[in-house]
A and B are shown apart, each in its own frame.
Chain A
Amino acid sequence: MHFEVVVPEADEEAADAAEIDPMKVAIASGKGGTGKTSVAVALALSAQGSVEFLDCDVEEPNAHFFLKPEIRLCEDISLEVPVVIQERCNYCGKCRDMCRFNAITVFGETIMTFPDMCHSCGGCFLVCPQEALEVGRRLIGTVELGTTGRGIGFVQGRLRIGEAMAPPLIRAVKARSTDSRTVIIDCPPGTSCPAMVAVRDADYCLLVTEPTPFGLHDLKIMTGVLKRLKVSHGVVLNRAGLGDDTLEHWCLDKGIPIHLKIPFSRKIAEAYAKGIPMTEVDKDLRDAFTRLILEIGK
């Protein structure tokens, strides 16, 4: 018996389209205030298919002002910190010697914990021979989940005021991603731990910058970091027309693509001040963002 298998061309194309992997795009910057959130929001609104937005700038999440999601779930996120059971402690000091962050100390017959110094590694629980430590909790913030009117899945972290450790909360935000076809990650500024945790494991990172000495200075640091993390990246130049062309020459020299230039425009700034995304007030920009998301999808 012979079977002739014929695959129609149309199906082949459909199969190709379905094969495009879900894409995680991180929007980062180095320098603060360059327009990460504006770009991230514009991208989310321009992407096709299921889209999810993760606001990982947990110290000051602000994408919600533009996307206006309806929050339906709010979770407390906390870290495990040691609490001493006084009558069991024999003041041996093993927990103190283990702790790299000086979050627990012992002298004479006194043991003290500093919960806000604790990085929740769990080492003290392991080394205590007396089982004199029990698990307490330090609230670091909340994760909020919802959906926008346009059906974009929305997750944001909100760091507790006074809390210094953003990374665990950022990880909690990312862990709640449902792996939609397009995941947009709005990252915190800077190039320290919170920014690293946010961009890590992204398929692509868009670096939003501006053509100023400050923009270039921080861009250089961030591109170095992304090379180390092996995250491919390109630049969105915001406030184009301001400053000079040093940054563009630098990108050209380093072979870093500049995907999009957003003009320094009063219209965009006025919309921003009202919580209106730039793609709503500028059709050319809307088209440009649609092209951008297709371009980085390749």
Chain B
Amino acid sequence: MKIAISAQGTDMASEVDPRFGRARYFVIFDTDRDRITQVIDNQAAQDAAHGAGIGAATKVAEAGAETVITGRVGPKAFAVLHAAGIKIVSNIAGRVKDAVENFINGKAHPADGPGCDAHSGQGMGMGGRRGGGAFRGGGAGGGRGGCGCRRN
């Protein structure tokens, strides 16, 4: 079985990247062969203005992963992963090596919903546009919530 881990580096000693959509890399670990079989460079999604999670989830699905280990997954990425039948283990931090071992040993379990609202990985949500206006309310709006995606 292949596991995709969002990672800040390309090997087992790397830290798990807390962001799913804008993770630096995805390390694909094959449990049958007990080693990393692929590293996905997620730079394109990091640079994307919108929809990083959708792009990242698509790459992970195409790599044939059955489980994702990461920090947080937004609603749109969750929808794609869910449609692809990929299990999500979220709220994971620390080294990739430990994350994989904990999962294999049954110490970490898949979640059944997205771990955060849209855009929370970007530091400031869409509400930020209104920022600064004393009479407009605070600027640090926490994104737009629900994903509104549609599976065709």
Residue ranges of A at the interface with B (Cβ–Cβ < 8 Å)? 31-33, 59, 83-84, 86, 96, 100-103, 105-108, 110-117, 162, 164, 189-190, 192, 194, 214, 217-218
Q: In the complex, which residues of chain A have a beta carbon less than 8 angstroms from the beta carbon of B61? A: 107-108
The residue in chain A whose Cβ has the minimal distance to the Cβ of B145 is A162
A190 to B133, CA, bound (A): 9
A85 closest partner in B (C-beta)? B152
Residues of B within 8 A of A (CB): 48-52, 54-55, 57-58, 61-62, 76, 79-80, 83-84, 126, 129-136, 144, 147-152
In the complex, what residues of B have CB within 8 A of residue A218's CB?
Answer: 132
Best-surrounded residue of A83, A105, A107, A218 (most CB of chain B within 10 A) = A105
Q: How many A-B residue pairs have CB under 8 A?
A: 88
Give chain A's interface secondary structure class. Answer: mixed
Asked if B136 and A33 make an inter-chain contact with CB atoms under 8 angstroms apart, the answer reads yes
In the complex, residue of chain B having the shortest beta-carbon distance to the beta carbon of A191? B129
In whole Å, how far is B150's beta carbon from the nearest beta carbon of chain A? 6
Q: Cβ of A217: which chain B residues have Cβ within 8 Å of it?
A: 132
**Are B133 and A33 neighbours in the complex by a CB distance under 8 Å?**
yes
Q: Are B144 and A162 in contact (CB under 8 A)?
A: yes
Cα(A31)–Cα(B133), bound, Å: 6
Most chain A beta-carbon neighbours within 10 Å: one of B48, B52, B129: B129
Residues of B within 8 A of A101 (CB): 49-51
Query: Which chain A residues lie closer than 8 Å to B149 at the CB level?
Result: 112-114, 116
**CB-contact partner of A105 in B80, B133, B136, under 8 A:** B80
Leading 6 A-B pairs by shortest Cβ distance: A32-B133, A102-B51, A33-B135, A32-B136, A84-B152, A107-B61
Task: Report the Cα distance A33→B133, complex, angstroms.
Answer: 6
Q: Which listed residue, B48, B52, B126, B151, touches A112 by the CB 8 Å rule?
A: B151
